[in-house]
Structure 1
């Protein structure tokens, strides 16, 4: 059966590799590539897709906001995340939003293909760990994952900080004052029970947040 699939990633080699593997499995499929959030928006406005395979780290745009906007306009679109971030970073939030699955780029490509098979056939593709985290939230109204304690904006600021952006650069990217960035930074440290930025970097490294 032929599907129409959109692959969105800002690395050309990744897009071509994913496309080649999909073509081996679904030779009749129509595959379109996008290298930016703008191109993704344009493509899904102009045609219907059976599946969007989406990287989370494009254009310094908050991926949670971007995905929320996509699903608000295109409720039937199935989204499968393919990212370097550990699934625990965004997994519960994305599952609640309606994203269908998550595959990590550091895992074998067969895992991504298994996710594609599942989503195209009407199933989800989440690790058992994410399912457990979600159950914890629903049963205890609180997650055992510290990252889930952060707001979407705090998570966004943290990821920009730990990946080498200065407060001024983050201020320009997010269009907020540098003093606000400092406030977010202090909140992040407090919620994660950390004392310094060095502790935050170490926490990020241990949780595969630095890409």
Structure 2
């Protein structure tokens, strides 16, 4: 397939994977196309977020399973750090729920590592045009189901007030800030937050953010 003509500056690509040999393989493929330039590489989620803030990549090639901060949580935070960045999940996971999570948090491309040699550059070229690219195993039905479905609050176990609190937590607000926004006491916020966490099985604010993304309580 022909290369994308570099009419402007090369698209900056950040590569995030905890296996050095995988990163080296990805970087070597990208180096063959002058329309793209690797702006950095990271081997864990925390390092990836620091690097993204420093380099503001156009495209992030991201694994699902990462040390320190998992790929899904990294994607959620990336959309705040570099909101225009396109995300390509490159992973071994061929699991419908994981694919759904990837779509929910804003990924526009999803490939299996077994497809990397044949499809990686094709996916990057699509993302450079802000177009989606998914491997064959991500069916059209799955895309329609998870990208176009309307939010169904009745499917969540949360009360309306708990949904408000979860949404505000996912947007990065502290309990004190949420109390001011809702006009309630901090203790009330803590009660709703704790109740919501128990209902959805969340252990942290990051878990609540992922829940909010899955159920479209936040716009990512």
Asked if 1:110 corresponds to 2:106, the answer is no
Greater helix fraction, Structure 1 or Structure 2 = 1
Describe the SS at the equivalent of 2:64.
coil
Structure 1 residue 101: Cα displacement: 0.4
Equivalent residue for 2:87?
79
Residue in structure 2 matched with residue 9 of structure 1 by the alignment: 17
TM-score between both structures, scaled by the size of structure 2: 0.57
Deviation of 1:67 (Å): 1.5
Partner SS for 1:52: strand
In the TM superposition, residue 141 of structure 1 has moved relative to its aligned partner by 8.0
**Aligned position for 1:131:** 140
Deviation of the 1:28 alpha carbon:
6.3
- Superposed counterparts of 1:1-211, under 5 Å: 1=6, 2-26=10-34, 29-59=37-67, 61-86=69-94, 88-127=96-135, 129-136=138-145
Shift in alpha-carbon separation, 1:14–1:82, aligned structure 2, 3 A: same
CA shift for structure 1 position 47: 1.9
Structure 1 alignment gaps of length 5 or more: 143-179, 185-211
Report the Cα offset of residue 93 of structure 1. Answer: 2.3
1:56 offset after TM fit, Å? 0.8
TM-score, with length taken from structure 1: 0.60
Task: Please tell me whether the aligned partners of residues 86 and 130 of structure 2 are also in contact (alpha carbons under 8 angstroms).
Answer: no
Q: Secondary structure at the match of 1:29?
A: strand
Name the Cα RMSD after superposition: 2.8
Summarize deviations over 1:90-135 as a string: whole Å, max 9, x none: 2222223211101100225121221111111221112463431243
Distance apart, 1:62 and its partner CA: 3.6
Structure 2 unaligned spans of 5+: 1-5, 153-197, 203-220
